[in-house]
Amino acid sequence: MQIFAAQTQLVLDLVGVFFFAVSGALLAARKGFDVVGSVLLAGMTGLGGGVIRDLIIGVPPAAFDRPIHILPVALAAAVVYLYFPHVSRFRRTLLLFDAAGLGLFCVTGTVRALDAGVPTVSAALLGVTTAVGGGLLRDVVAREVPSLFRHDDIYAVPAMVGAAATALLWRLDALSLWTGVAASVATFTLRALAVRYGWRAPLAYRRLSP
């Protein structure tokens, strides 16, 4: 039995794809790619994380199984083409849409893995993979320092919190559409605050004082 109704899961997925796809199309615009490159980068960003997750779970990747997933990608590229003429604001807007995608995908990714019968801890890991995979792919193919690794503000931690919360809610039999959406919103808020206030994690090694 599915945790969310199939229809609900699909809608949440498509919304998440749209958010990440906008972040991809905005990066394409900032890098001077053409509209075709914009659609392709939007597609990799929006669909990449989910495809990796589905391959690891061992189910047919939804993005190719149900061609409706192209819709939010095309929409995102069109919206960026038509309504974002101000390059100066690209970075901030990109971060916002990326955070929205992160919030949705860490929850829906975990749910899809739980639906497939994956053990709880692995399901949370796959939720994080779904959430950070598309953005990592976007940054790598567009030759940017991956958001995932930038020391400016924490990026993966909100996704980890959201995925862990989702897995925990499911364990406690308290995972519903509304608690799931709450976990999404909390993740988005955490990430947005991290960007706003520059919340950082400690470096990977302890520098000795001289």
| Residues contributing to the site for its own copies (CB under 8 A) | 25, 28-29, 31-38, 40-41, 51, 55-56, 58, 60-61, 64-65, 67, 70, 77, 80-82, 84-87, 118-119, 121-122, 125-126, 132, 136, 140-143, 145-146, 148-149, 151, 154-157, 200-208
Least distance (Å) between residue 74 CB and its own copies: 12
* Residue closer to its own copies, measured from CB, 6 or 32: 32
Least distance (Å) between residue 177 CB and its own copies: 26
* Residue closer to its own copies, measured from CB, 78 or 181: 78
Q: What's the CA angle centered on 53, arms 180 and 165, to 5 degrees?
A: 25
User: Could you tell me the end-to-end alpha-carbon distance of the chain, in angstroms, rounded to an integer?
Assistant: 59
Least distance (Å) between residue 186 CB and its own copies: 18
Least distance (Å) between residue 156 CB and its own copies: 5
Which residue shows structure tokens 């990109």?
A: 94
Alpha-carbon radius of gyration of the chain: 17
* Residue closer to its own copies, measured from CB, 51 or 169: 51
Buried b (16+ CB within 10 A) or exposed e, 81-108: eeebeeeeebeeebbbbbbbbbbbbbbb
* Residue closer to its own copies, measured from CB, 84 or 181: 84
Cα–Cα distances in angstroms (integers) from residue 52 to residues 41, 45, 57, 132, 137, in the given order:
16, 12, 9, 11, 11
Least distance (Å) between residue 179 CB and its own copies: 24
d(CA 144, CA 82): 24
* Residue closer to its own copies, measured from CB, 56 or 182: 56
